[in-house]
Structure formats: structure tokens, C-alpha cells
């Protein structure tokens, strides 16, 4: 088995891309297959090396690796070879209409109630007419000639049996006037040359698949297995680069753990429950492409946020040890305590600073602070210190437990809310407690 993920390096990955990449990768790992990363950069003017770097880093961030990688811009010689072969066989032909002329044709067809399918008038051009167009400065674009008498059929792994009548599809442009190949032909040539066995992508490619099946057959190659995933929706609009989809850059800035996003996207649209996973292996072992529904899936960023805290709660110290060291935390005990009280990893550093650094305490009642200080139990703090301390304080002053806890928290942490105070005292330590109360 060989799957491929083929982003265009014209922008950052968004959640729709990420989901496709993850499902392709997990599918092939589940089947002990190979994963190919291909960059569709035939449009050299729009492609940018910075996006190639960004895409590779983002894939690594979510835990996706690959067995091979290449750029389409490295294979123009091969595309030209197949292109000339298909021209010779009559499956690709030159067209000389301008965009304005094609637009007029489409409008007339629609006005007459006809489908806006290209009329193949260029097939009737004489060599003299073509030469005249060339002298006028026109440059041809090229189309692949579909077999219009065929209904293309395949058994889609997600959508089931699909039938597409090519009589309703225009012959696709495979090369533009400026000589740039469009998506269609290079993609097919790559799939054929690299023996791609499974193509997993969004359902917006269903019509493209019918076209590409005919192209594959024209190249006398084996047709791969297709799976078309339902598109993601966000705030009632399809998530895409053109519609302001959530890109990985924004997700990282929101401090989403990669496994929170992975846990959500891999199960979204399936019959499986969406749960927090801290390793890929459990997702790989439970994967089944047939669990995906053909119905549209609603992406909810708030659900990812919820998973984020759950993922953190399940992370063992060994997994986050290096990240903890980077913020000065070297205590496994502190991690196992604090992970149940945070929504973002950055909050670890905040609470470590509260425990270990010189903070500005909030003292609401100086007289009470003196009583509290005098009542502090001797010795190192443990999880029983707070209950003993509170009992001793209330023997001296008449104060509601709720008010006392609030003032203690403010005096010791400078905040009104936070993790369980009884356990927090252990990490603050008696010396810091005394210093803060004396302030």
C-alpha cells in the first residue's frame, strides 16, 4: 500500500489539509504501507520555498513522517514526455480561445439552459487557422479529450459506489497559455510512476477523480483505490485557504497540543467517540477508513480546547520532561500535580513561578495576616498542613472558612483562583509562605 499527501506550497496548512494528511498517514501505517509527500509546485510563480519549509515543519509537529518526498517542479521532463505522447495519441489537443471568448460561450449555454460544457470547437480548427492565431500572438492552452460516451464508475471507500457521466464535464485544461501545467496531468503521472495504490482526499475532488481515471487509463496504468472524505465546515462555511480556514500557524499560537488536534481530526466524521490520545499508536491500531461518514463534518475549535486539557492530563513526565526543563521545572511531582489544573502547557511556567519566585502577595487584612503567620505549623509543608493551619487560625479568630481560604490564596499566590491550595503549599514551601505573609 502507498498513499500520498500532495499540498501546494502556496500557503500554510489549514485544518482541512491537516486532516487529510493525518488520515492518509494513519491509514497507510495501519496497513504497514508507505507514505509519500509530494509538493504540487508546478506553478513556480505562486509557489514559495517558505511554505515548503512551513508544511514540512507542521507535518512533523503533528507527528507525521514520510518514506519519500519530492517536488513536481523536479519532474517537468517526465510530464513533457507524457504530454507529447498523449498529443500524438489524440487525447490532448490545442485550443486558442481567449478567456473572454470562453466566458461568452458559457454565458450563452447557460442562457439557453444548457450545461456549460466546452464545445470542442478547437478540434475543428485547420492548420491554417491555428497558424493565423499564432501570428496574431495567441498562444494555445491544451485540453485532455474525455471519452464522452462513458460513465466512470468506482467503489469509493467512503462514499460507496460513484457514477460520473463525462458528458456533463468539460475537457479539462492540462496546460495553460503560459506553459504551466495545471493540477490534473502531473498528479496522474506521479500516481502512475510512483505506484500509488490509495488516494485519500476531499470530496471536492470527486469530479476530478472521474477525469483522472480516464487519464490513467489513457496512460495504460492501473487505477488506484479512492476515498473521498467529507469536507469540514466551520461557522457554516467550508474550511479552506480561500475562506479563511484555520491554519496551523494560528493553531500553534493558540497553544493547542498537537495530539489534541490529532485526536479530534482523526475521529471527526467517524462512528468512533472523540477522546484524548497521547500517542499515535492507539489511533493507528483502531483506524478503519470505512468508519468515515459521507455526511459533512462540523469542526469545533472549542471541542479541540476541551481535548487539550485532557491530553495534558494524560501526559507522563517522560513525554514533557524536555519542555519542562526549558521553563525551569525539574520536578515530576509538580508536573503530576499541575497537569490536572491547566488548559495550556504555558500555565506550568506561571504556576512554577508563583511557587518558587518572589511574587507580590495580596494582603487584605494585615492583622489577620499576623494571626495566620503565627498559626503556621512548624516543619516542612505536606498535604495535611492546610487543614491543621486553618483549624489553628479559627481557634484564634472568628472567620468563615470561605473567606479565610480566599485571603490565604491571595496572600500566598496573588490570585483568587488556582489549583488545590493544600497541595500547592507543598511546592510553595514554608520559607516562601513566611516571606509572603510578612509582606
- Output the domain CATH number for residue 383: 1.10.10.350
Q: Look at residue 247 in the predicted model and tell me its pLDDT.
A: 84
Claim to verify: residue 269 and residue 285 sit in the same structural domain: yes
- The reply to whether 361 falls in a domain is no
Q: Look at residue 242 in the predicted model and tell me its pLDDT.
A: 44
- As a whole number, the mean pLDDT across the chain is 93
Residue 248 — pLDDT band, cuts 50, 70, 90?
confident
For residue 374 the three cell numbers come to 503565627
Q: Which of 150, 175, 200 is the last residue in one of the domains?
A: 175
- The reply to whether 359 falls in a domain is no
**Residue range 411-439: average pLDDT?**
93
Q: Which of 145, 175, 205 is the last residue in one of the domains?
A: 175
The answer to whether 353 and 432 are in contact (CB under 8 A) is no
Instruction: State pTM to two decimals.
Output: 0.89
Q: Look at residue 244 in the predicted model and tell me its pLDDT.
A: 46
Closest CA to 122 of 143, 105, 137, 107: 143
Q: Look at residue 37 in the predicted model and tell me its pLDDT.
A: 98
Q: Look at residue 249 in the predicted model and tell me its pLDDT.
A: 85
Contacts of residue 40, Cβ cutoff 8 Å, sequence gap at least 6: 6, 7, 8, 9, 72, 183, 186, 187
Q: Look at residue 226 in the predicted model and tell me its pLDDT.
A: 98
The answer to whether 259 and 16 are in contact (CB under 8 A) is no
Claim to verify: residue 192 and residue 297 sit in the same structural domain: yes
- The reply to whether 17 falls in a domain is yes
Q: Look at residue 91 in the predicted model and tell me its pLDDT.
A: 97
The answer to whether 251 and 224 are in contact (CB under 8 A) is no
Per-residue pLDDT tens digits for 365-382 = 889 999 999 999 999 999
Q: Look at residue 360 in the predicted model and tell me its pLDDT.
A: 87
Claim to verify: residue 285 and residue 325 sit in the same structural domain: no
Claim to verify: residue 294 and residue 308 sit in the same structural domain: yes
- The reply to whether 360 falls in a domain is no
**Residue range 334-343: average pLDDT?**
96
Give the CATH number of the domain where residue 305 resides: 3.40.50.620
Element holding 164 (H helix, E strand):
strand 160-165
| Chain-centre distance for alpha carbon 298 | 14
Q: How many structural domains compose the chain? A: 4
Q: In 31-114, where does DSSP find H-type helix?
A: 49-61, 76-88, 99-111
For residue 437 the three cell numbers come to 505573609
Claim to verify: residue 59 and residue 115 sit in the same structural domain: no
Is a pLDDT exceeding 80 seen at residue 236? no
**Residue range 380-409: average pLDDT?**
92
Per-residue pLDDT tens digits for 297-321 = 899 888 999 999 999 999 999 999 9
Q: Look at residue 424 in the predicted model and tell me its pLDDT.
A: 95
Claim to verify: residue 213 and residue 163 sit in the same structural domain: no
DSSP string, 360-401: ----S-HHHHHHHHHHPPSSS--TTHHHHHHHHHHHHS---H
What is the C-alpha separation between 325 and 321, in angstroms, rounded? 6
> Which region, left, alpha or beta, applies to residue 86 given φ > 0 means left and ψ of -120 to 50 means alpha?
alpha
> What is the extent of the structural domain holding 400?
366-438
Per-residue pLDDT tens digits for 109-157 = 899 988 899 999 999 999 999 999 999 999 999 999 999 989 999 999 9
- The reply to whether 46 falls in a domain is yes
Closest CA to 429 of 335, 352, 330, 340: 352
Claim to verify: residue 128 and residue 151 sit in the same structural domain: yes
Q: Which of 142, 175, 208 is the last residue in one of the domains?
A: 175
What is the C-alpha separation between 364 and 374, in angstroms, rounded? 17
Give the CATH number of the domain where residue 127 resides: 3.90.800.10
Claim to verify: residue 310 and residue 321 sit in the same structural domain: no
Element holding 173 (H helix, E strand):
strand 173-175
Whole-number percent of the chain with pLDDT over 70: 97
Ligand-binding annotation for 238, yes or no, is no
Is a pLDDT exceeding 90 seen at residue 234? no
What is the C-alpha separation between 289 and 153, in angstroms, rounded? 20
Is a pLDDT exceeding 60 seen at residue 437? yes
Claim to verify: residue 340 and residue 308 sit in the same structural domain: no
Is a pLDDT exceeding 50 seen at residue 361? yes
Is a pLDDT exceeding 50 seen at residue 62? yes
270 three-class SS: strand
Which residues sit opposite 14 in a β-bridge? 247
Claim to verify: residue 237 and residue 296 sit in the same structural domain: yes
**Residue range 2-22: average pLDDT?**
94
Is a pLDDT exceeding 50 seen at residue 241? no
Q: Look at residue 359 in the predicted model and tell me its pLDDT.
A: 87
**Residue range 53-67: average pLDDT?**
96
Q: Look at residue 245 in the predicted model and tell me its pLDDT.
A: 53
Residues 21-50 as b/e (b if ≥16 CB within 10 A, e otherwise) read bbbbbbbbbbbebbbbbbbbbbbeeebeee
- The reply to whether 262 falls in a domain is yes
The answer to whether 346 and 309 are in contact (CB under 8 A) is no
Contacts of residue 146, Cβ cutoff 8 Å, sequence gap at least 6: 166, 169, 171, 172, 211, 214
Whole-number percent of the chain with pLDDT over 90: 85
Claim to verify: residue 257 and residue 305 sit in the same structural domain: yes
Per-residue pLDDT tens digits for 17-56 = 999 999 999 999 999 999 999 999 999 888 999 999 999 9
Residues 54-89 as b/e (b if ≥16 CB within 10 A, e otherwise) read bbbebbebbebebeeeebbeebeeebeebbeebeee
Residue 215 — pLDDT band, cuts 50, 70, 90?
very high
Claim to verify: residue 100 and residue 219 sit in the same structural domain: no
Is a pLDDT exceeding 90 seen at residue 392? yes
- The reply to whether 306 falls in a domain is yes
- The reply to whether 141 falls in a domain is yes
Amino acid at each position: 500500500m502507498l498513499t500520498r499527501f500532495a499540498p501546494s506550497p502556496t500557503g500554510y496548512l489549514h485544518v482541512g489539509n491537516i486532516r487529510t494528511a493525518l488520515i492518509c498517514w494513519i491509514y497507510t501505517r495501519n496497513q504497514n504501507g508507505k507514505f509519500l509527500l509530494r509538493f504540487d509546485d508546478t506553478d513556480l510563480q505562486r509557489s514559495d520555498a517558505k511554505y515548503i519549509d512551513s508544511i514540512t515543519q507542521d507535518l512533523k509537529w503533528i507527528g507525521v513522517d514520510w518514506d519519500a518526498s519530492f517536488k513536481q517542479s523536479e519532474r517537468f521532463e517526465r510530464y513533457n514526455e507524457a504530454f507529447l505522447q498523449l498529443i500524438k495519441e489524440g487525447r490532448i489537443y490545442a485550443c486558442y480561445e481567449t478567456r473572454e471568448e470562453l466566458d461568452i460561450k458559457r454565458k450563452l449555454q447557460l442562457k439557453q439552459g444548457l450545461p456549460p460544457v466546452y464545445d470542442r470547437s478547437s478540434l475543428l480548427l485547420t492548420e491554417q487557422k491555428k497558424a493565423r492565431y499564432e501570428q496574431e500572438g495567441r498562444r494555445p492552452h491544451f485540453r485532455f479529450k474525455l471519452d464522452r460516451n462513458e460513465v466512470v464508475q468506482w467503489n469509493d471507500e467512503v462514499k460507496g459506489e460513484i457514477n460520473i457521466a463525462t458528458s456533463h464535464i468539460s475537457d479539462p485544461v492540462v496546460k495553460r497559455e503560459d506553459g504551466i501545467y495545471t493540477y490534473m496531468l502531473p498528479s496522474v503521472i506521479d500516481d502512475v510512476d510512483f505506484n500509488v495504490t490509495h488516494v485519500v482526499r476531499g470530496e471536492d475532488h470527486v469530479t476530478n477523480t472521474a477525469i483522472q481515471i480516464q487519464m490513467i487509463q489513457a496512460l495504460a496504468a492501473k487505477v488506484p483505490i479512492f476515498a473521498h472524505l467529507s469536507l469540514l465546515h466551520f461557522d457554516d462555511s467550508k474550511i479552506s485557504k480561500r475562506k479563511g480556514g484555520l491554519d496551523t500557524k494560528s493553531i500553534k499560537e493558540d497553544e493547542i497540543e498537537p495530539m489534541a488536534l490529532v485526536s479530534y481530526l482523526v475521529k471527526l466524521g467517524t462512528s468512533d467517540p472523540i477522546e484524548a490520545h497521547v500517542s499515535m499508536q492507539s489511533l493507528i491500531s483502531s483506524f478503519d477508513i470505512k468508519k468515515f461518514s459521507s455526511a459533512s463534518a462540523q469542526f469545533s475549535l472549542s471541542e479541540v480546547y476541551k481535548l487539550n486539557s485532557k491530553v495534558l492530563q494524560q501526559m507522563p513526565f517522560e513525554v514533557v520532561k524536555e519542555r519542562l526543563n526549558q521553563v525551569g521545572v525539574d520536578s515530576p511531582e509538580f508536573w503530576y500535580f499541575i497537569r490536572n489544573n491547566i488548559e495550556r502547557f504555558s500555565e506550568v511556567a506561571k504556576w512554577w513561578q508563583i511557587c518558587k519566585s518572589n511574587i507580590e502577595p495580596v494582603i487584605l487584612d494585615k492583622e489577620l495576616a499576623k494571626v495566620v503567620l503565627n498559626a503556621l505549623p512548624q516543619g516542612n509543608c505536606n498535604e495535611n498542613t492546610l487543614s491543621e493551619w486553618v483549624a489553628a487560625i479559627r481557634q484564634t479568630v472568628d472567620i468563615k472558612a470561605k473567606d479565610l481560604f480566599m485571603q490565604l490564596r491571595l496572600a500566598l499566590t496573588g490570585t483568587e483562583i488556582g489549583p488545590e491550595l493544600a497541595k500547592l503549599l507543598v511546592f510553595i514551601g514554608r520559607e516562601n509562605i513566611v516571606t509572603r505573609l510578612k509582606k
